Amino acid sequence: MTEHPAALQSRPDTSGVPVDAGVEGVPGREWASVSELADRRQLRHHSVGELVNRGQAQDLVTKAPHPTDARFVRVEMTRHGERALAWLSALHRDELRRVGAALAVPDWSDTTGGAA
């Protein structure tokens, strides 16, 4: 069994993790705005705002005002959020490895398709 940080030994509440994954996926910086997260997830701004609030309550992300544009809130991952995301990624990667053969695209090149 894979070793996990003590804080994550039991299954963590991952309801805010989609926000974590969105923050982690912004190229070139360590934060994302709520609007960017909403666009990436194809969700409404207020729905992502609620996910951010849940993630903040679980110490997965933090919110901070944007230093130059008051219209934006910066969402940043915490170390706890990074560990939770790594744990979930490993869990999903292991699951995909287990079911990989069932997900493989069949090779139809050997079939004649009824042609004579």
**DSSP letter, residue 14:** -
Instruction: Name 35's Cβ contacts closer than 8 Å, sequence gap at least 6.
Output: 45, 72
| CA-based max dimension of the chain | 71
Query: pLDDT (tens digit, 9 = 90+) per residue, 47-100?
Result: 888 888 988 998 999 999 988 988 888 999 899 988 888 888 888 787 878 887
Query: pLDDT (tens digit, 9 = 90+) per residue, 10-52?
Result: 555 555 555 555 666 677 788 888 888 888 878 888 888 888 8
